[in-house]
């Protein structure tokens, strides 16, 4: 499950504000920290749902280090908010490649270190190199 970094900001006399550096314009707020986090999760879910409905891919979440490099983000408190799995669109692709590259992929898949891609044969057998995201 993807998790996006949300930044929580609080000015004296205001509610808690929530923004997502990876998703400019996705903002929310709440009177308490818990409410702000819940409202942020709702804003994230609605935005990702809209991207999926439009056939657009959600951006990969940035690391905390990448986000905090931006001086504008230094005053925010970073929290992780999970994207619901219903918001993630799977896409099946077919790939043609040289046999030696496929052999390298098969060897790598057998090491058990594959995380971002699942390598499988048509019909679900592991190892042939048909890439499924």
Domain that holds residue 63: 3-87
Segments of the chain assigned E as strands: 3-10, 16-19, 27-30, 77-82, 118-120, 130-132
State pLDDT tens for residues 80-121. Answer: 998 875 545 667 778 788 888 888 877 877 776 654 444 444
Lowest mean pLDDT among 26-35, 58-67, 74-83, 101-110: 101-110
Residues 14 and 47 in one domain: yes
pLDDT band for position 43 (cuts 50, 70, 90)? very high
83-92 burial code (b ≥16 CB/10 A, e <16): beeebeeeee
Q: Is residue 28 part of a domain?
A: yes
How far is residue 91 from each of residues 4, 50, 59, 113, 129, measured CA to CA in Å?
Answer: 21, 17, 15, 22, 16
Residues 7 and 62 in one domain: yes
The alpha carbons of the chain give a radius of gyration, in whole angstroms, of 19
Residues 82 and 119 in one domain: no
Q: Is residue 94 part of a domain?
A: no
Q: How far apart are CA 28 and CA 31, in angstroms?
A: 11
- State both tokens at 64: 């905390």
This prediction's pTM: 0.61
Q: How far apart are CA 10 and CA 31, in angstroms?
A: 10
Residues 68 and 7 in one domain: yes
Residues 61 and 121 in one domain: no
| Tally of domains in the chain | 2
Residues 21 and 61 in one domain: yes
56-67 burial code (b ≥16 CB/10 A, e <16): eebeebbeeeeb
By CB neighbour count within 10 A (0-12 exposed, 13-18 middle, 19+ buried), where does 94 fall?
exposed
Tell me if 36 sits within 8 A of 16, measured CB to CB.
Answer: yes
pLDDT of residue 90: 63
Residues 13 and 77 in one domain: yes
């Amino acid at each position: 499950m993807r998790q996006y970094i949300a930044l929580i900001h609080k000015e004296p006399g205001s509610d808690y504000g929530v923004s997502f550096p990876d998703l400019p314009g996705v903002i929310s707020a709440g009177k308490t920290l818990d409410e702000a986090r819940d409202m942020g999760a709702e804003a994230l879910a609605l935005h990702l749902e809209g991207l999926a409905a439009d056939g657009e891919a959600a951006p990969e979440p940035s690391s905390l280090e990448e986000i905090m490099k931006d001086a504008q983000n230094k005053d925010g408190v970073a929290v992780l908010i999970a994207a619901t799995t219903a918001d993630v669109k799977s896409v099946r692709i077919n790939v043609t490649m040289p046999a030696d590259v496929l052999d390298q992929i098969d060897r790598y898949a057998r090491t058990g270190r594959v995380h971002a891609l699942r390598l499988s044969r048509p019909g679900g057998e592991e190892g042939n190199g048909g890439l499924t995201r």
